Amino acid sequence: MNETRTPLLSVKDLKVRFGNVVALGGATMHAYPGEITAIIGDNGAGKSSLTKAILGVYANSEGTIEIEGREVTMSSPHVAKAMGIEAVFQDLALFDDLTLWQNMFINRELKRGWGPLAITRRAEMISRSDELIRKLTVNVPDARRTVRSMSGGQRQAVAIARAVAWGSTLVIMDEPTAALGVRERTEVEQTITQLRDQGRSFILVSHSFDQVMRVADAVWVMRHGRAVAHRRIADTTGEELVGLVTGAIEK
């Protein structure tokens, strides 16, 4: 591949410790824009720690993070959000009793004015949510429906739509389909690849080698808190990825 492109995200020698536990022992990786970059590795390899450090959850992490070639300090989740970096987790972080549009705009309400103006704002939030959801492949009902009434796949589609709506730079997904059935997983994969084809950038933590082979453009393999191997998906196989994760293949 053309490796002269500037990575969207470049992480160098990132370290995260919890007391005596070294969750990240100097992780180095990068991700290109308009691609799905997968992160794989065994339980405890440091995948979630890496993504959380990028998201500013661990303010005391060491090392450097660059966005589009510029060094940034991810001192808090607010900093990451302000840079257009959003997250989607396995456990659906939605409010069951709120409607789809309320979930889309939670903590980001278009607040201006009272009375009739407030009603306009509400209508605008509903129509903008509808518009965003319609761009996705997944068949999601009306933006006025509560999230409780939706299937797992639809709910995850809402979570992804919300992240993509606000995460203009990069959406980081940690096991986004782990809680879903086969059909719903397929729907979510379609959503992600379609958005990638529209130029969106994703980091995808996954335990599924098949999923990585199906949707990703590149993959990093983590072992013991480090990214030990990197492959373009076009140049690897599911079998090789298994070997890299277990350590049967060194790097």
Ligand X SMILES: Nc1ncnc2c1ncn2[C@@H]1O[C@H](COP(=O)(O)OP(=O)(O)OP(=O)(O)O)[C@@H](O)[C@H]1O
Is 28 an interacting residue with respect to Mg ion (CB under 5 A)?
Answer: no
- Given candidates 8, 9, 11, 23, which one binds ligand X under the rule CB under 6 A? 23
Provide the b/e sequence for 209-248 (b: ≥16 CB within 10 Å): bebbbebbbbbbbbbebbbbbbbebeebeeebbeebbeee
CA distances 26 to 53, 76, 177, Å, are: 12, 20, 28
Check residue 60 for interaction with ligand X (CB under 6 A): no
- Dist CA 61 CA 24 (whole Å): 9
Q: Could you say which of Mg ion, ligand X, none residue 143 binds, taking C-beta under 5 to 8 angstroms by partner kind?
A: none
Interface residue with ligand X, options 15, 30, 47, 155 (CB under 6 A):
47
Nearer to ligand X, 23 or 104 (CB): 23
The entry of ligand X, Mg ion, none near residue 153 (CB within 5 to 8 angstroms by kind) is none
Choose between 178 and 213: whose C-beta lies nearer to ligand X.
Answer: 178
Verify binding: residue 242, ligand X, rule CB under 6 A: no
Q: Which of 7, 41, 56, 167 binds ligand X (CB under 6 A)?
A: 41
To Mg ion, the closest distance from the beta carbon of 90 in angstroms equals 8
Residue 21's Cβ-count burial label (10 Å; 0-12, 13-18, 19+) is exposed
CB of 48 to Mg ion, least distance (A): 3
221 binds, among Mg ion, ligand X, none (CB under 5 to 8 A by kind): none
Q: Is residue 141 within 8 Å of residue 103, measured between CB atoms?
A: no
The helix or strand, by DSSP H or E, that contains position 127, with its residue range, turns out to be helix 116-134
Under rule CB under 6 A, residue 48 binds ligand X: yes
The two structure tokens encoding residue 100: 């789809």
Rounded to whole angstroms, the Cα distance separating 246 from 179 reads: 24
Q: Is 90 in the site for ligand X (CB under 6 A)?
A: no
